[in-house]
Structure 1
C-alpha cells in the first residue's frame, strides 16, 4: 500500500488530474446505472451511462439518451454534480470541500490547483480558489432566479425550481445539458428573450474564465486589465458579433436567435433551432466556433480564444513584417510556438477522429460526422441528431474525444513526455516555404 501511495505521490500533476477525471467519470457512470437513477420502465446500457457521465464531467452536452426522459431526480442530481465537478475541476471541488471542513490545503493539493487553474505560482492560490467558488455560486444563483419565471409558466413551482437550478449550473459550466425531455433542448423557448439572454449571459461569463472575471471585478477598466483579459474579451466580442451577423443573414432567423446561436457553439451545446436544418454555411461557421471554443481557465473547451488570437496576430506580424504584439505589449515566441502546437495537435485529433467515424459510419454524411467530432473535442455538445444512432465503437471514440477536449490535447500528449532540453544543437539552415 505504501508503494502505491508513493507511486501516486510522485506522479506529475497533469497525470493525477487526468486520472482523477477518469475515476469521476467511472463513478458517475456507475451511479447513473443504479435503479434509483432511472425512471420506471427505463433501462440503459453501461456504454450509454459511460457516455453520459463523460459528457457531463467533460461539460460537453452530447447525449445518447435524453436526460429528462431517462433519469429520476436522483439521477439528475448526479448529472448536476458531475457537471459542476467537471466545470470547476475535481481538484478545485476537492480543495473547496477541504476548506468547508476547515482543513488545511497541503502542498500537493496546491500543486494540483496550480496546474488545474493554469496559474504561474502558488501565491494566493487558496484565496483565488475561494473567489472562484464564490463567483460560481453567485452566477449560478442569479441564473436560477432569473430562469425560474420562465419555467414556472410551464411546470409546477417545485419542478420549475429544480429545472432552473439545473439549467443555471449547466449553462454557467458550458455543459449544454437540459432535463426538459423530448430531446428538444431549448427549441420550445427559441423566442423567449429572457431565457435566451440569461442562458447566453451565463455561457459567456462561464466561457470567459475565472481569472478574467476576477480581473474585471478588480480593475473595472479595460485599460487597467491584464493583457490576457484584454485578449480574451476582445476576441470573445469579435467572435460573438461575427457569428451573430453570419447566422442572421445565412439562416434567416431573428436577431435573438442569431445571437444565441453565436453564443452556444462556444462549447455550450444548447440548441434553440434544429441543427440539422442549418445550411452548410451555418454548420461551417458553427464548426469553426466550436473548434475555437472558450477561454483558458474557463469551463469550456476548444483551442481557446487566446490561442486563436495569437494565431491571427502571428499571421498579421508575418505579413506586415512587424514585431509580434498586441495592446502595446509584446507576445513571447514561447506563447506563439505553444499556440501553433496546440492548434496542430487539435487539428490532428479532429482529423483522425473524423476519419475513424467515416470508416465506422458510412451511412452518415461527412459533414454530420465532422460536426459530431468537433463538437465532442470542443466540448460543445451540439449535434445534427446522429449521436444516439452511432455504433458502440463510434461512441467510444467520441468518449475519448470528449476526454481529450476537456483536458486539452497538449496536456494529454505531453504529460507522458519528460525529456530534458538538449544543450547541443545542429547547425541552422533555411528551408524554402510557400
Structure 2
C-alpha cells in the first residue's frame, strides 16, 4: 500500500501544473457524475441516464449551465446540493478549493500548490498566492451571501420560506459563478421573472462581479480610483462596460424585448447563461449578437469563460496600432509583444475549437440549423449555458461533443495544449527569414 501511495506522489510531482489542473477538473466531473447517479440524488419516478449525469456534472463544474434534463424535476434536494457544490468548485477552481481545504486543516501550503494556484488564476508571480486564495474565498462568501439575501425577498413571494431560502442560495451560487443553472422547474429559467427589477439587477450584479475577476476586484478595493488601477484592470473594466452597453443596444434593436430584458441578456451572454426570454424565438441577428458576446466571455481569473475581455482589448489595440503605424499601447502603457502573441494564439485556438465542434455537430445533428448548432457550441465553449432549446434532444454523440467543448472552454485552450508537453525554449534559434503577409 505504501509503495502505491509513494508511486502516486512521485507521479503527481512529475506532472506539469496544466496537466494537474486538467486531471483535477476531470476527477471532480467524474465524481459528480457518480454522485448524481445515486438513488439518493434522483427524485422518485425520474430517470437519469449516465450520459445525462455526466453532462450535468460537466456543465456544473465547467460553470456552463447547459442542461440535458431539468434539474428541479430530476434531482432531489441532495442532488441539487451536489450540483451547487460542483458549481462552486468549478467557479472557484479546483486548486483554490484545494488550498482552502489545506488552510482550513491548519496545514502548510507547499510550493507545488502555490504554483498550481498561479497557473489556475493566471497571475504572473508566485508571491502572495495563499493570501490571494483567502481573499477569493472571502469575496465569494460576501457576494453570494448578499445575492442570496436579495433573491430571497423575490422568491419568498411565491415559495415557502424554506424553499425560497434553498432556491435563493442556489441561484446566488449559480449567478456569481456565471453558471446558468436554475431549480425553478419546467425548463423556464428566469422567464417568469423577466419584469422583476430586483431579481434582474441582483442577478446582473452577481454575474458582472463574478465575471470581472478577483484580481480586478482586489485592485479596485485597493486603489479606489480608475486612474490608479493597473492596465489589466482598466482594460477589463472598460471592455466589459463597452460590451454590456453595445450588447444591450443591439439586442433592443433586433428583438422585441424591454430595455431591462436587453440589459439582462447582454450581461448574461458574457458566460452566465440565465435567460428571461425564450432564446429559441430570437431572430438570427439577435442570436448572432449573443454568439459574439459568448465567444468574448468574461475576464481572466474570473468564474467565466470565453477568450476573455482582456484578449479582445489587446486585439483591438493591435488593430489600432497597426492602422496608425504605432506601438501597441493603451492608457500610456506599451503592451508587451508576448501578450500580443498570446492574445492572437488564444483567439485562433478558440475559434478553431468552436469551428471544429460546430462542424462535427452539423454531421451528427443534421436536423438542426447551422445557427442553432453554432450557438450551442459557442455557448458550450464560452461556458455560458444559453441554448435555443435543442440540448435535451441531442444524441448521445452530440452530448459528448458538447461535454468535451465545455471541458476545453473551462480549462482554456492554452492549458489544454501545454498539458501535453511543456519544454523550456531552446537557446539556439534558426536563421530568420521573412514571410509575405496580406
Shorter-chain-normalised TM-score: which range? Answer: over 0.9
Q: Give the stretch that moved more between structures: 349-358 or 118-127.
A: 118-127
| 330, 337, 346: which one aligns with 2:334 | 330
Structure 1 partner of 2:381: 377
Structure 2 partner of 1:53: 57
> In the alignment, does 2:256 pair up with 1:252?
yes
Q: Give the stretch that moved more between structures: 168-177 or 113-122.
A: 113-122
| 80, 83, 91: which one aligns with 1:79 | 83
Structure 2 partner of 1:140: 144
Deviation at 1:254, TM superposition (A): 1.2
Deviation at 1:206, TM superposition (A): 0.1
Q: Distance in 2 between matches of 1:132 and 1:419?
A: 31
Deviation track 1:23-82 (CA, whole Å, cap 9, x = no partner) reads 000000000001111111111101100000000000000010010111111001100100
Q: Distance in 2 between matches of 1:289 and 1:364?
A: 22
Deviation at 1:422, TM superposition (A): 3.3
> In the alignment, does 2:319 pair up with 1:315?
yes
Equivalent positions of 1:24-423 (< 5 A) are 24-423=28-427
Deviation track 1:197-233 (CA, whole Å, cap 9, x = no partner) reads 0000000000000000011011110011110000000
For structure 1, the residue ranges without an aligned partner over 5 or more in a row are none
SS in 2 for 1:294: coil
Q: What TM-score, normalized to structure 2? A: 0.98
SS in 2 for 1:271: coil
Deviation track 1:101-138 (CA, whole Å, cap 9, x = no partner) reads 22221222112111112222222211111111000000
Q: Distance in 2 between matches of 1:195 and 1:367?
A: 30
Structure 2 partner of 1:18: 22
Contact 2:16-2:422 within 8 A present in 1 as well = no
Q: What TM-score, normalized to structure 1? A: 0.98
Q: Distance in 2 between matches of 1:108 and 1:427?
A: 38
Deviation at 1:417, TM superposition (A): 2.1
Q: Distance in 1 between matches of 2:12 and 2:105?
A: 24
Q: Distance in 2 between matches of 1:4 and 1:142?
A: 42
Deviation track 1:292-319 (CA, whole Å, cap 9, x = no partner) reads 0000000000000000110111011111
Deviation at 1:249, TM superposition (A): 1.4
Q: Give the stretch that moved more between structures: 260-269 or 123-132.
A: 123-132
- Once superposed, which parts of structure 1, at least 4 consecutive aligned residues long, lie more than 6 Å away? none
SS in 1 for 2:234: helix
Q: Distance in 2 between matches of 1:154 and 1:267?
A: 28
Q: Distance in 1 between matches of 2:404 and 2:313?
A: 27
Deviation track 1:172-206 (CA, whole Å, cap 9, x = no partner) reads 00011000000000000001011000000000000
Q: Distance in 1 between matches of 2:378 and 2:25?
A: 21
SS in 2 for 1:376: helix
For structure 2, the residue ranges without an aligned partner over 5 or more in a row are none
Deviation track 1:345-400 (CA, whole Å, cap 9, x = no partner) reads 00110100000000001110000000000000000000000011111011001100
Q: Distance in 2 between matches of 1:32 and 1:66?
A: 13
Q: How many residues align?
A: 434
Q: Give the stretch that moved more between structures: 249-258 or 169-178.
A: 249-258
- Coordinate RMSD, CA, aligned: 1.0
Q: Distance in 2 between matches of 1:36 and 1:42?
A: 12
SS in 2 for 1:95: helix
